Structure 1
Amino acid sequence: MTGTSDRRRVTSADVAREAKVSRATVSYVLNDSPHQKIPEATRRRVREAAARLGYAPSAAARLLRRGRSDIVLGLLPDWPIEHVLGRLVQQLTDALAQHELTFLVHSAAHPARPLREVWRALTPAAVLALDAFPVAEADAVRAAGIEVVMAVHDSVRSGRGSALVSEEPIGAEQARHLAHAHRRLGYAYPDLARLGGLARARLDGVREVCAELGLPAPDVRTVPVDQEGAVQAVKAWLAADPPVTGVCAFNDAAALAVLGALRSLGLRAPEDLAVIGVDDIPGAALAQPPLTTVVRDTDAIARGLARRIADALEGAQVSADPLLESLRVQVRVSA
């Protein structure tokens, strides 16, 4: 027994016969072709016939019709694929689908297939990098005829393109929230070097607010997601002169590590040390105490990125400015 099927692929001709219309009418209806005066009853009959037969237009046919692929190649950096990144990938998939584009992701985590082999095999319509994109690679992609190359968290410095999502406002939002009651802030830096680009940008936001408000520069400590390392960071903050009384954490995972360290020392948040995270992961509300955190609208980010990609593919002028992003602080007990 083989893994192949004897079932013949359903074609537009089959749909036309089933619906008793021409193949051209099937094409006009299923492709939503403009300026075609086709009665609604006929359109409904064609769609019902296509659904009944399980008809799906071939990728090759779509490519010929559009003159390009419908694939957007998403390049994932070597980051932990956790709740927030997984949610963003799903939202990008949905948002790009609204523009009839297919989002495929490739992770840079070792030992992944080399990026150049991937985009050459797929010949995507566009490339969206969630982090840095090497200039030489971007030039090679464009030389192959893939004109739309965008980077979310870093600049594509050759030709068009710039960072599309800014991280500094997140750190600034954290610092402004704590600065109402705290005059010395700390920053819980992640212990994963590959997250350094995001962490530095968020830390810059904290530093800018501290300088603006006349506060000392934040006391930066690396906080591993383990009790011993987090305890050492908390002790150092409390022993500082003057002591740190509020901590901006890189993300909720780092914030939860700080809360755990406080409990192990017999201390409490926010009485002994206030803590604010980022992302509002599912466990944030269940923490002891419940974690105050900055919430970002990743769905709006996904829709904004999808719109810029679709506009660029249509040859429209696309802004190089960062996307406007709404942030809010989910206030709970920890800060």
Structure 2
Amino acid sequence: MTDSTPRRVTSADVARVAGVSRATVSYVLNDTPDQTISAATRTRVLDAAGALGYAPSAAARALRTGRSDVVLCLLPDWPIGPEVGTLLGSLSTELARSGLTFVAHPGNRADRPIAELWKAITPAAVLAFTDFSAAEIGAMRAAGVALVVGLLGRSTSPRRELEVPQQHVGRLQAEHLAAAGRTAIGYAYPDDDRVRIFAEPRLAGTRIACAARGLAQPSVRIVPLDPDAAAVAVRAWRDEGMTGVCAYNDDVAMAVLAGMRRLGLRAPADLAVIGVDDIPAARLAVPALTTVTTDQAALAAHLAATVLAAIHGHPVAPADLTEIVEVVPRESA
């Protein structure tokens, strides 16, 4: 019985087809400086590599350079909405421009321990939306992982790149409502426990803004994505005298609008509503949804620059990420 497993094309195969040495193949494919290789030879090597479908071994490259070119992003077990999807796509593009490969792994730590993931890949950097323990950080750094970033969380780790902009989102929501005279504010919290890592800093930002303006703390109610259930929360807010609602995101905000319609209420006359993310449906809502948006391309550029600086041992340039968050005013608030 023959083995049907395909054999990996090697640099020796490329050298044989191009009629050159393996050293010449390595010099050409790695664009090694100070090598006197003719244009014709270089073309033969590149043509042979392309025809054979040659892909350099990531493991061999890591041994040669002392590091992997992979940036591993660990995603929690939650739905990837438009904003996070845009961030991941932009981050992949930014890192690719610097010769780095972006790998996103969804799931939770119960499915597979973090150590198994990064040891299997030996990445140059690890990003995650939740915290790392001190032991996890120590193990990765001991293995030569240049950067470890928990993008959100409550630990004492200094690297939580998304914490400030997420809090600023909530602050902008409350400040927009307060500026419009809505001084009794509710907060529509999601019923999906998986997105707490985003919901908590946004709610914290709303609370900070209310305190800064001398307003009562927001009345927090869980709002499912169901018109009847949302109507229960809306009725309670109305009974409490709330005049505006900050919603966790646009989906929850539109649930609030649906609940208002169940009760015969109108936004913003009866209750102003503001969401987050500026998803395409936000501008199609009735009334069109006021929301808060983040420039995900700018955020991705900052994260990519942070990764590159750490990999190359350079200081990380400070950035005011609040500048990339802004209100998109429409009719609902």
TM-score tier by shorter-chain length is 0.7 to 0.9
Q: Which residue of 2 aligns with 1:162?
A: 159
8 Å contact kept, 2:94–2:301: yes
* Mean Cα deviation higher: 243-252 or 21-30: 21-30
8 Å contact kept, 2:299–2:324: no
| C-alpha distance 296-172 of structure 1, shift in aligned 2 (>3 A) | same
Q: Which residue of 2 aligns with 1:55?
A: 54
Counterparts of 1:129-208 in structure 2, within 5 Å, are 129-154=128-153, 157=156, 161-165=158-162, 166=164, 167-181=166-180, 182-208=182-208
Measure, in 2, the Cα distance between the counterparts of 1:11 and 1:195: 45
- Secondary structure class of the residue paired with 1:173: helix
Q: How far off its partner does 1:291 sit?
A: 1.5
Q: How far off its partner does 1:307 sit?
A: 1.7
- Secondary structure class of the residue paired with 1:278: coil
Counterparts of 1:169-248 in structure 2, within 5 Å, are 169-181=168-180, 182-240=182-240, 243-248=241-246
Residues 237-278 of structure 1, C-alpha deviations (whole Å, 9 max, x = no match): 1111xx222211111111011011011112221221111111
Q: Which residue of 1 aligns with 2:63?
A: 64
Residues 176-223 of structure 1, C-alpha deviations (whole Å, 9 max, x = no match): 222222222221112233433322211222222223333332222221
1:302 aligns with 2:320: no
| C-alpha distance 228-2 of structure 1, shift in aligned 2 (>3 A) | farther
Q: How far off its partner does 1:70 sit?
A: 1.9
| C-alpha distance 267-42 of structure 1, shift in aligned 2 (>3 A) | farther
1:97 aligns with 2:96: yes
The residue type paired with residue 313 of structure 1 is I
Q: How far off its partner does 1:62 sit?
A: 1.5
Kindly indicate which of the two structures has a greater share of residues assigned to helix. 2
Residues 113-155 of structure 1, C-alpha deviations (whole Å, 9 max, x = no match): 2222222333222211112222332223334443421111136
Measure, in 1, the Cα distance between the counterparts of 2:96 and 2:253: 35
Residues 6-54 of structure 1, C-alpha deviations (whole Å, 9 max, x = no match): 5x54444554565566654543443233455767676556544433332
Q: Tell me the number of residue pairs that the alignment of Structure 1 and Structure 2 aligns.
A: 330
1:317 aligns with 2:315: yes
- Secondary structure class of the residue paired with 2:156: coil
* Identity score, percent: 53
TM-score normalized by the length of structure 2: 0.86
Root-mean-square deviation (CA, aligned residues, Å) is 2.8
8 Å contact kept, 2:168–2:322: no
8 Å contact kept, 1:275–1:291: yes
Measure, in 2, the Cα distance between the counterparts of 1:293 and 1:66: 46
| C-alpha distance 251-46 of structure 1, shift in aligned 2 (>3 A) | same
Measure, in 1, the Cα distance between the counterparts of 2:12 and 2:156: 48
Q: Which residue of 2 aligns with 1:277?
A: 275
- Secondary structure class of the residue paired with 2:160: coil
- Which runs of no fewer than 5 residues in structure 2 stay unpaired? none
